[in-house]
A and B are shown apart, each in its own frame.
Chain A
Amino acid sequence: MSLLEGENIGLQIDKVRILEDIDLRLEQGELVGLIGPNGAGKSSLVRLLAGVETATRGGIRFDGRPLARIPARTRAQRLGYLAQGAMAHWPLSVEQIIELGRLPYQNWWLQLTPADRDKVERAMRLTETLAYRNRIVTTLSGGEQTLVMLARIFAAEPDLIFADEPVAALDPYHQLHVMEVLRNHAAGGRAAIVVLHDLGLAARFCDRLYLLSHGRLHCCGGVSEVLTRENIAEVYGIDSRVDCNANGVSITSLSRLGDHHP
C-alpha cells in the first residue's frame, strides 16, 4: 500500500478546468518533485493532496483511507503543508512560530508539555534555526524564514510534507539547505512532495518527478526518464542541453522555441 495515492484527480473552478485526470502515488522514503511551467497546476495539485482544498473529481487516499474522511486534526498531525511564500503576519519570535506546529496536538489552553518542547527543539536542530530562536521572524532573511516555516512543520512530526516552491527566491546555500532537510525527512522513512521550478535541483534531489502541463500529467518517472530534451521542449517550450554525469543530471536552458507558448 502506498503512503499516498491519487486517482483520476480533477479540479474545476467556475467551469475552468484547473486539473484533469491526474494519477499519482508516493511511497515511504520518497522525495518526489512536482515540476512544470507557471500555471500548469502544481500548486493546485499540492493543495488538493494536502487536503487544504477539495478535488471536484477523483479520489485521494492517504495511508489507505480517503483523505476527505480523515478527521481534520489527524490530517493536520500527519500531513504538513508549506504554502508558497509562507510568512508570518505578526512579529512573533521564531520559537513562537515553531511552537505553532504543535497546535494540532493541543487543546484550547495551548499548554506545551515537555514532550512538545522536545519536538520544538528537535525541529530547530534539524533546520539549524536554534541560533535565532529568539529573533522576530519578520526581521529574518527570506532563506531563514523558509527554514523557520519548515521547522514549524517538523515540530508537528508529519509523515508527509508538501512544500510549494520552498526554494523560490533563495540563494544557492539556502536552496541546498532546504532541499537537504526535506531529503533527510524522506530518508527517515517518511516522505515529501516538493514543487520546484529549478530543474537542476529537482534532478539532484528528487527520487521521482511528475511533470505537469496545462493541468494534465505530461509524464512521470525517474529523473532521467522525465527530464529529457524532448519533454522539456514540449512542456516548457525551450531548447535545452541535458547532461548525465557523476553528479546526476544537469540541465542548461539554451533558447526559447519560437512558436511555442507553454
Chain B
Amino acid sequence: MIAARIKSPVIYAALLPLLLIVFLLALNVGPVEISLGKAWRDWIGSQTTIETLILFDLRLPRALLALTIGATLGLAGAALQGLLRNPLAEPGIIGVSNGAAFGAVVVFYYGLSGLAWFMLPLGGLLGAVIAVAVIFLLVGKSRSTITLILAGIAINAIGGAMIALALNFAASPYAMQEIVFWLLGSVANRSVNDLYIALPFMVVGWAMMLYCGRFLNALTLGEETAGSMGFDVSRMRLILIIGVTASVGAAVSVAGNIGFIGLVVPHLLRPFVAYEPRRLLPASGVAGAILLLVADIAVQSMSETRELKLGVITSLVGAPFFLFLILKSRNTLQ
C-alpha cells in the first residue's frame, strides 16, 4: 500500500469553499422565507426590519453556533484520538460531555435557568471543569493512558447516573421534557449571548489543541519516545486536555450533547492528511463545522411541526456511518 501524500492546500482548497457555501445555505434556511439580500441592504442602511431581525438575531447566531460547535467537536475528536492513539476516542471519553451536561441539568432541575441567560452555560462549564478536575485528581501524575481512559469512562458513567437521578426526581413531566430535549442537543433558539459566552472558551481551547500538534506527531512513536524527542509528556497532555475541556465544555453547555461528529470526522479525514495527527487537527475542525452545519440545515428543512433535534440526527446518521467506516477499514486498523 502506498501512502497518498496529499498536500495540505489541496484539502483546504476543497474544505474551505465548501464551508462557505454550507454557511450561506444555513443562513438561507428557516421557517420563514426571507431575502438575504434585502436583509443585508437594510442592515447596511441601519434599518431594523423583519429581515434584519431574522438574519442577525436568529439565523446568524444559530449558524455560527453550529459552525463553532462542529469545529470544536471535530478538532477535539482528532486531538483526543491523537493523544490516546486510539481511533475510537471521542470528546466524551474524558468525561467532559456528561460533566457539562450534568452541570446544565442541575441548572434546569433547580429552575435556575430563568434567573439569568448565562446560568445554563455557566452550569455546564462548571460541570465540565469539575469532571476533568476529578479525573486529574484520580489519575494524578500517572503516565498511564489507560488509567486516564478508565477514569474518564467512570466519570462519564457517574455523570450519566446523576442525570438519570435528576430526571427521576424531576418536578413535573414538563421539567423532565425540558431536560430531555435539551440533552438531545440543538442549536435552535439560541441567542447571540450564547455565542458570546461559549466562543472565548472554544477559541482558547482550539489554540491549546492546535499547539499540541507537534507533540501529537511525536506521540505516534509512543510516550517514551515523545519524551526523548524533547516533549514534557505530562505537561503537553495537560494542555491538550484543558483545551478539550474548555472547548467541548462550552459547546455542550450551550447546545447539549451532539454525538458522533467528534468520532466520525477524524476517521473520515485521516486518509486525506496521510494519517498525520497534526495535520488532522485543523482539517477535522473545518470538516466538523461543515458536517454540523449540514446536519442543522437538514434538521430545519425536514421537520414540520416538531423540530428534530440536532444530536438525534448526528447520531442517527453518524452511528451507521461509523459502522461502515469500521467495516471498510478493518484491515488497516491496528
CB atoms of B1 and A100 under 8 A apart: no
**Which B residues from 178 to 227 make CB contacts under 8 A with A?**
211, 213-214, 217-222, 224-225, 227
For the complex, is B305 an interface residue (Cβ under 8 Å from A)? no
For the complex, is A250 an interface residue (Cβ under 8 Å from B)? no
CB atoms of A52 and B3 under 8 A apart: no
Selected from B222, B228, B275, B276, the residue in CB contact (under 8 A) with A76 is B228
- What's the nearest-Cβ distance from chain A to residue B174, in Å? 49
Which of B20-28, B98-106, B229-237, B248-256 lies on the face that meets chain A?
B229-237
Residue in chain B with minimal CB distance to A83 = B224
CB atoms of A80 and B228 under 8 A apart: yes
- What's the nearest-Cβ distance from chain B to residue A202, in Å? 23
Selected from B85, B213, B227, the residue in CB contact (under 8 A) with A90 is B85
For the complex, is A93 an interface residue (Cβ under 8 Å from B)? yes
Q: A93-B5, A96-B3 are in contact. Are A75 and B230 (CB under 8 A)?
A: yes
Selected from A47, A104, A139, the residue in CB contact (under 8 A) with B229 is A104
A47 CA to B225 CA, complexed, in Å:
10
For the complex, is B144 an interface residue (Cβ under 8 Å from A)? no
Interface SS of chain A: mixed
**Which B residues from 80 to 101 make CB contacts under 8 A with A?**
85
A103 CA to B232 CA, complexed, in Å:
14
For the complex, is B168 an interface residue (Cβ under 8 Å from A)? no
For the complex, is A89 an interface residue (Cβ under 8 Å from B)? yes
Specify which chain B residues have a CB less than 8 angstroms from the CB of A50 in the assembled complex.
228
**Which A residues from 103 to 131 make CB contacts under 8 A with B?**
103-104, 106, 108, 110
CB atoms of A81 and B228 under 8 A apart: yes
CB atoms of A89 and B334 under 8 A apart: yes
For the complex, is A176 an interface residue (Cβ under 8 Å from B)? no
Task: Sort A-B residue pairs by CB-CB distance and give the 10 closest, nearest first.
Answer: A76-B230, A81-B228, A93-B3, A89-B85, A72-B230, A90-B275, A73-B230, A52-B227, A83-B224, A76-B229
Residues of B within 8 A of A (CB): 1-3, 5, 85, 211, 213-214, 217-222, 224-225, 227-232, 270, 274-278, 332, 334
Q: List 5 A-B contacts (CB under 8 A).
A: A52-B224, A88-B220, A89-B220, A92-B274, A134-B2
